[in-house]
């Protein structure tokens, strides 16, 4: 008896991976130069290169999303390919977990290893006197060896509001997913739209927080290890929220066009996984960066 095999769609060669690589290269180079120029108070091409990278990235996302949507709506995908997509998304989220784990590791090293050593802990009794005579072993470090001082960002206010916003957004997205599974299109549309608005609100308040940090607290990229870890963690998380919001917006317009069914909606499910992951990372970030 001849065994039947499911079809497994293999797309033609695509330009979008190399376009995405160019975009990420421009973003990396532009961000690095932008930070250096901002630190030195100079003006250069870092900001323009960073902007160009984001523009190319948006072009790549639009083009690649369009190709994927066209392939899916043409019935080219099978159950086996769906399992491959699920495995791919799972590994992608795992890689993102490791990405943030590295940054949390840097924060842990700075707080619990470097700071005590500089304060003379263990066998480093002379470190404090030789390297930094006025150093106080405390966190956050609100002064640098060069004498630049800052204030810490309090957990009260915008960070707490943003935490509540993201937690609510996970709930609304869950109900949107439930609406899709139960074929309640109105519930799906409304709850997904509310989630998008909450994501945009989060990003707006994070910009407000950065303005407050620079203008009122003197908390900048020049504020030593505390300023660097603060902006590194919150900044990269903000980039992930931005990407997640873009994905949800794409899903929203697909919903309006009648895409997805209760049994065929992995694109929506993958976006939901990603958003919940971003929310969990923020809760950890809120605890370890703002509270502790």
pLDDT tens for each residue of 137-187: 788 888 877 778 888 898 899 999 999 999 999 999 999 999 999 999 999
Q: What's the confidence (pLDDT) of residue 242?
A: 93
**Does position 102 have pLDDT exceeding 90, yes or no?**
yes
- CA–CA distance, 142 with 110 (Å, rounded to integer): 14
Neighbours of 107 (CB within 10 A): 21
3-state secondary structure of 229: helix
Confidence of residue 123 (pLDDT cuts 50, 70, 90): low
**Does position 210 have pLDDT exceeding 80, yes or no?**
yes
Q: What secondary structure does DSSP assign to 80-143, as a single string?
A: HHHHHHHHHHHHHHHHHHHHHHHHHHHHHHIIIIIHHHHTT-TT-TTHHHHH-TT----SS--B
Span of 44-48, 78-82, 87-91, 267-271 with lowest mean pLDDT: 78-82
Q: What's the confidence (pLDDT) of residue 177?
A: 95
Confidence of residue 235 (pLDDT cuts 50, 70, 90): very high
């Amino acid at each position: 008896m001849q065994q039947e095999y499911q079809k497994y769609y293999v797309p033609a060669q695509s330009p979008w991976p190399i376009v995405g690589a160019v975009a990420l290269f421009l973003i990396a180079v532009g961000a690095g130069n932008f930070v250096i120029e901002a630190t030195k108070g100079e003006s250069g091409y870092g900001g323009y290169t960073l902007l160009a990278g984001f523009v190319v990235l948006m072009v790549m996302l639009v083009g690649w999303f369009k190709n994927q949507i066209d392939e899916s709506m043409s019935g080219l995908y099978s159950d086996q390919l769906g399992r491959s997509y699920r495995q791919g998304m799972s590994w992608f989220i795992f890689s993102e977990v490791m990405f943030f784990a590295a940054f949390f590791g840097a924060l842990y090293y700075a707080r619990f290893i470097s700071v005590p050593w500089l304060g003379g802990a263990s066998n480093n009794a002379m470190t404090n006197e030789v390297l930094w005579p006025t150093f106080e072993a405390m966190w956050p470090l609100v002064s640098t060896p060069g004498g630049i001082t800052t204030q810490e960002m309090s957990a009260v206010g915008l960070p707490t509001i943003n935490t509540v916003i993201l937690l609510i957004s996970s709930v609304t997205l869950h109900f949107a997913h439930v609406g899709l599974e139960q074929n309640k299109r109105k519930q799906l549309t409304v709850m997904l739209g509310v989630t998008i608005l909450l994501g945009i609100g989060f990003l707006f308040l994070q910009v407000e927080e950065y303005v407050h940090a620079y203008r009122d607290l003197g908390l900048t990229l020049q504020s030593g290890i505390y300023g660097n870890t603060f902006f590194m963690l919150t900044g990269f998380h903000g980039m992930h929220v931005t990407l997640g919001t873009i994905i949800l917006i794409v899903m929203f317009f697909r919903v309006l066009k009648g895409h997805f069914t209760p049994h065929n909606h992995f694109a929506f499910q993958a976006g939901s996984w990603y958003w919940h992951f971003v929310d969990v990372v923020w809760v950890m970030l809120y605890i370890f960066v703002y509270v502790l």
